[in-house]
Amino acid sequence: MSPDPLPPGAATRISAKIIVSGGFGVGKTTLIGAASEIEPLTTEECLTEISDGIDSLAGVERKSTTTVALDFGRLTFPQQQMVLYLFGTPGQDRFWFTWDDLVIGAVGAVVLVDTRRLADAFTAVGYFEQTQMPFIVAMNEFDDAPHRYTRTEVREALEVPDHVPIVRCDARDQRSTITVLLALVGHALTRHHPSTGVPA
């Protein structure tokens, strides 16, 4: 299932920009790093005392870095002649102004959710509902999560419409992240072309 780069000169039938979004510390950088076939571009900076009182570390007290602009990765599926370009958004409130630029040209988004901090996902869910961009919710289940929520519980908690897929994932695992990205692609194609489920 692991993708390989296309050979030189090979035609690319489908190229898609994918957004990986969610709250602070939910695993966006980790997911892109696990899925990307290239060394991912990250803009992580160390958290400093200046961010005290601005960036909440509740639930992620051991986190020492943060994305300040974007993360970028690439994933190629040679047999399907498909290339996904992955763009990760910053998670903190003070960087939300970058989202409008990052989502330009994207076919859909993954909203990554930390089940220990479900409320942190409301902003991302609301943003993509407002922009009417196809999205799915991916439950990144951390090892120390005190409770394993069902998809129904997460859907009800986040008030996610029935047509939005909710999937489980481990952002550290390549196979799991690829499954999430393929689920988004399938959903995006269906939402854009509901009668056929395929691109024009």
The percent helix, strand, coil of the chain (3-state, each to 5) is 30, 25, 45
pTM: 0.78
Nearest Cα neighbor of 44 from 72, 84, 83, 71 is 71
Helix intervals (H) in the chain: 28-35, 99-102, 122-131, 151-158, 174-192
Contacts of 143 (CB under 8 A, 6+ apart): none
Residue 188 inside a domain? The answer is: yes
Residue 6 inside a domain? The answer is: no
Domain coverage including residue 105:
14-192
Residue 180 inside a domain? The answer is: yes
Residue 5 inside a domain? The answer is: no
Question: What pLDDT tens digit does each residue of the chain (200 aa) get?
Answer: 555 554 555 554 689 999 999 988 899 999 999 999 999 887 655 544 444 444 444 544 444 455 545 899 999 998 889 999 999 998 666 556 788 999 999 999 999 999 888 999 999 999 999 999 999 999 998 877 667 899 999 999 999 999 999 999 999 999 999 999 999 999 999 886 544 344 43
Domain with residue 160: its CATH number is: 3.40.50.300
Total domains, the chain: 1
Residue 1 inside a domain? The answer is: no
